[in-house]
Structure 1
Amino acid sequence: MAIIELLNQDMKQAMKDKDKVKLSVIRMVKASIQNEAIKQKKDALSEEEELTVLARELKQRKDSLHEFKEAGREDLVSKLEEEIKIIQAYMPEQLSDDELEQIVVQTIEEVQAESKKDMGKVMSALMPKVKGKAEGARVNQFVQQHLQ
């Protein structure tokens, strides 16, 4: 089932349950997906493109969460943490450290990378494989560990 269809179902359920926070988050995410489709001049996005939008929304909230924690805004921190949980429910299951490391090592061998100079080559081959399943910063960290 496409993410947008799942969002539509959950939006209806949130309306019935009078869950204002979930409803608000789902509406924002749906709007982002629809805006991306308009931007790309498409009727609908592929599931991979929907995942890209979801990942962007999640990253924005995590960045904001970090900023609010530093500023001591606990009222906004709890709200954002709830929004993050809601969005994460639509993301694929995240890769464990072992799984990610295995994919990183395999990709390094595939592109025959030998040093940190090959970082871009490795990342460009690796990111499509882990899209939505691991954050870019985490992937970058593993690649740097394996490239000396």
Structure 2
Amino acid sequence: MSLKAELTQAMKDAMRAQDKARLGTVRLMLSEIKRVEVDERIEVSDERILALLDKMQKQRRDSIAQFSAAGRQDLVDIEEAELEVISQFLPAPLSEAELQAMVQSAVAETGAQSMADMGKVMAILKPQVQGRADMTVVSKLVKACMG
């Protein structure tokens, strides 16, 4: 089943269960997918959906940090609930060891010698870790491996 079909089914299940919080978050995800499809006049692939969900997850993390700093626990709770629902549709996160191994493999594969070659390494890693790891963490690991 495609990710879009999975999200549509999750929306129907949330409607039946009258789970308003989950329903709202699933609808947010579907509307973001629909927005991209309409704007770009394309059928969105599962890879692109993962990228969109990853972006939404990052936005929620940023919001949580900002709301926490402002002392708005009510808004933090809402964002955390949305983050939980979004993460259910993403693949399992990579462990630190798996990520380290992937970075070392990509550095060896590209023959990267300096920070100037970082783009080549990141180009290989990005599709492999999309939705499974935070790209800022990946970037730090690449810098540490090359530094």
Same structural fold, with TM-score higher than 0.5 when normalized by the shorter chain? yes
**Identity percentage over the alignment?**
36
1:73 matched to 2:97: no
TM-score (norm 1): 0.95
1:55-101 deviation digits (Å, cap 9, x = unpaired):
11111111111110111100000111111000000001111111111
1:92 matched to 2:116: no
In structure 2, what residue type is equivalent to 1:109? A
1:6-65 deviation digits (Å, cap 9, x = unpaired):
1111111111111110000000100000111112211x2111011111111111111111
Q: Which runs of 4+ in 1 moved over 3 A?
A: none
How far, CA to CA, are the matches of 1:14 and 1:128 in structure 2?
A: 31
Unaligned residue ranges in structure 1 (runs of 5+): none
How far, CA to CA, are the matches of 1:39 and 1:96 in structure 2?
A: 35
SS at match of 2:33: helix
How far, CA to CA, are the matches of 1:129 and 1:27 in structure 2?
A: 27
In structure 1, what residue type is equivalent to 2:44? L
CA RMSD, 1 decimal: 1.0
Residues 1-148 of structure 1: pairs in structure 2 closer than 5 A: 1-42=1-42, 44-148=43-147
TM-score (norm 2): 0.96
Q: How many residues align?
A: 147
How far, CA to CA, are the matches of 1:96 and 1:40 in structure 2?
A: 34
How far, CA to CA, are the matches of 1:61 and 1:32 in structure 2?
A: 14
Unaligned residue ranges in structure 2 (runs of 5+): none
How far, CA to CA, are the matches of 2:128 and 2:39 in structure 1?
A: 25
How far, CA to CA, are the matches of 1:23 and 1:67 in structure 2?
A: 25
In structure 2, what residue type is equivalent to 1:77? V
